[in-house]
Amino acid sequence: MEQYFLEILKSYQGSPFEIILRGVQQESYSVNVRNGKMDDLSDVTDSGVMINVVRDQKVYRVGLCSFERDAIDRGIKNALGKWERYQEWLMPTYIYPHLEDKNFHKDLIQSVDLSEQRTHFAENLQQETEKLKKDAVISNALAYLSLCSKKTFLCSNTGATQTDEQVFNDLSFRLQAGIKGANQIRSNGYETNQGHLTDQYSSELSLKSNLLLEELKELVAAPNCPNEKMDVILTPHQMYIQIHESIGHPLELDRILGDERNYAGGSFVKPTDFNQLIYGSELLNINYQPHVETEVASLSFDDCGEISKEVELIKNGKLLAGIGGMESQTRLGVNGTASCRASSWNRPPIDRMGNINLLSGTESLDDLVKKVEKGIMMFTNRSWSIDDQRDKFQFGCEYARLIENGEVTKVVKNPNYRGRTIPFWKSLSGVGDQSTLQIIGTPTCGKGEPNQPVRVGHASPACLFHNIDCFSGE
């Protein structure tokens, strides 16, 4: 496809415009499973090209749901004419660098038929949910599976090309119980990764679901979470959403500029805070890491052609850089990330989170527990709420265990905690080692008008926070 695009662009070589074609070919296959029955099978193919004509730091775009040569050629001519006609009203932009000639094709898709793979794993989910539904405590056993392949390529009339290929798998496994009004949920917290599902995952599914069933039964009989301030250990399936909401979103540069205020909200972070603001304790280290093999937002370049590289966002608690592409970096005069992304071919790239990860510390989970005289360990996000400036928040979890005198004790249900972003991260008093770290992500982070849902990756170890306001959800 890249050579085909370059052939089309040959007639525009030497033009005063840089003409960049961003093509996307995407296929996705999903299924819902409920109590042993499969339904809502969905097969979606989405392909198209966004034509970008750039001159004098101004860009005009035309989107096409066709790869036909005549249609693309007409689209280019249309975009060039509209640029000339509307140039005085086009805002200056730095969103497209001069495209570098790089090939990052990873051959991840190979010859695997995603439709057949969906059928294979859906049958496993069907068998597992059917088995679990037979247990008296279960009111519903639910699963959702999605497999997606995506190929992105950028081609310029300068002759440069960039190509990347990704495969995603999303799996949600959720058990519900309702006995005498004690309605509880235990889930895998939604897993989204880059790469194919393997037979090993299928063999581990039964072990995971049996553990979830055991924990769900504990929750039904458990007392409520205490209402008091105490130390809190958050495991990775809760840490990822804490990072996402109270670090990732407030550091997005377009929010800081006010561009997203109407829909997604703003940020308490100010442009003058970079290299000044102490965001958390010295144990807090957050990096943008776009090259983690299985993490869902790993990419070689962003949708503006900027080559991705690791960036330190927060180092030893101090804010260093934001999350956003070349345009926002230039407007604010701060460092950022190559993470300007579009949800598909028919959307313009905007500042998005990529792989925003909290770096591991040196303490095992047992070490963290032994530091706690009175506290609670919370697992798996159930609900979240945070204000438009990403400051005041409260989160709920599915499952928790109390910690008393350095030992994990009884199960409690409906655990919740609340706080404010900066004081919360300054209370960080222990960071787990590599053995506690998990790579997690979310498949549907929404932002932009019209809305652009994208996958976002997070990795985190278990973390200990001191003197947090905890309360029961009931």
Contact 173, 209 (CB under 8 A): yes
Kindly state the DSSP code that residue 246 receives in the 8-state scheme: I
Phi, psi (rounded to 5 degrees) for 84: -60, -40
Span 314-327, average pLDDT: 96
CB within 8 A of 368, min separation 6: which ones? 233, 430, 432, 462, 463, 464
Residues 49 and 177 in one domain: yes
Residues 240 and 210 in one domain: no
Q: Which of 201-210, 236-245, 323-332 has the lowest mean pLDDT?
A: 201-210
The amino acid sitting at 101 is: D
Q: Round to whole Å and give the CA distance between 393 and 18.
A: 45
Q: Round to whole Å and give the CA distance between 53 and 16.
A: 10
DSSP of 267-293, one letter per residue?
-S--GGGTTT-B-S-TT--EEE-TT-T
pLDDT band with cut points at 50, 70 and 90 for residue 230: very high
The amino acid sitting at 51 is: I
Position 104 scores a pLDDT of 58
Residues 182 and 232 in one domain: no
Residues 323 and 186 in one domain: no
Position 103 scores a pLDDT of 61
Position 94 scores a pLDDT of 66
Contact 340, 294 (CB under 8 A): no
pLDDT in tens, 354-383: 999 999 999 999 999 999 999 999 999 999
Radius of gyration of the chain (CA): 24
pLDDT band with cut points at 50, 70 and 90 for residue 249: very high
Task: Print the domain residue range for 233.
Answer: 228-472
Residues 158 and 262 in one domain: no
Residues 303 and 441 in one domain: yes
Domain boundary among 221, 242, 277: 221
Position 201 scores a pLDDT of 76
Q: Round to whole Å and give the CA distance between 62 and 73.
A: 11
Position 102 scores a pLDDT of 66
Most confident stretch, 163-167, 260-264, 337-341, 463-467: 463-467
pLDDT in tens, 252-263: 999 999 998 888
pLDDT in tens, 67-95: 999 999 999 999 999 999 999 998 877 66
Span 267-280, average pLDDT: 97
- Percent of the chain at pLDDT > 90 equals 78
Position 101 scores a pLDDT of 67
pLDDT higher than threshold 80 for residue 388: yes
Contact 445, 355 (CB under 8 A): no
Residues 198 and 261 in one domain: no
Q: How many structural domains are present in the chain?
A: 2
Residues 33 and 150 in one domain: yes
Contact 474, 414 (CB under 8 A): yes
Residues 33 and 165 in one domain: yes
pLDDT in tens, 40-58: 889 999 999 999 999 988 9
Domain boundary among 201, 221, 241: 221
58-64 vs 37-55, strand pairing mode: antiparallel
Position 178 scores a pLDDT of 79
CA 92, distance to chain mean position in Å, is 29
pLDDT higher than threshold 90 for residue 3: no
Q: Round to whole Å and give the CA distance between 450 and 366.
A: 46
Instruction: Tell me the C-alpha to C-alpha distance, in Å, between residue 110 and each of 43, 63, 196, 407.
Output: 19, 28, 10, 48
| Partner residues linked to 432 by β-bridges | 363
pLDDT higher than threshold 60 for residue 105: no
Residues 253 and 123 in one domain: no
Residues 91 and 183 in one domain: yes
Span 119-138, average pLDDT: 93
Position 170 scores a pLDDT of 92
Q: Round to whole Å and give the CA distance between 168 and 333.
A: 34
Position 197 scores a pLDDT of 82
pLDDT band with cut points at 50, 70 and 90 for residue 404: very high
pLDDT in tens, 10-29: 999 989 999 999 999 999 99
Domain boundary among 195, 221, 247: 221
Per DSSP, the three-state class of 389 is coil
Span 335-360, average pLDDT: 95
58-64 vs 138-156, strand pairing mode: unpaired
pLDDT band with cut points at 50, 70 and 90 for residue 207: confident
Write the CATH number for 178: 3.30.2290.10
Residues 357 and 407 in one domain: yes
Q: Round to whole Å and give the CA distance between 184 and 380.
A: 13
Instruction: List, in sequence order, the alpha helices (H) in 107-198.
Output: 114-133
Looking from the CA of 395 toward its CB, the CA atoms found within 13 Å total: 27
pLDDT higher than threshold 60 for residue 224: yes
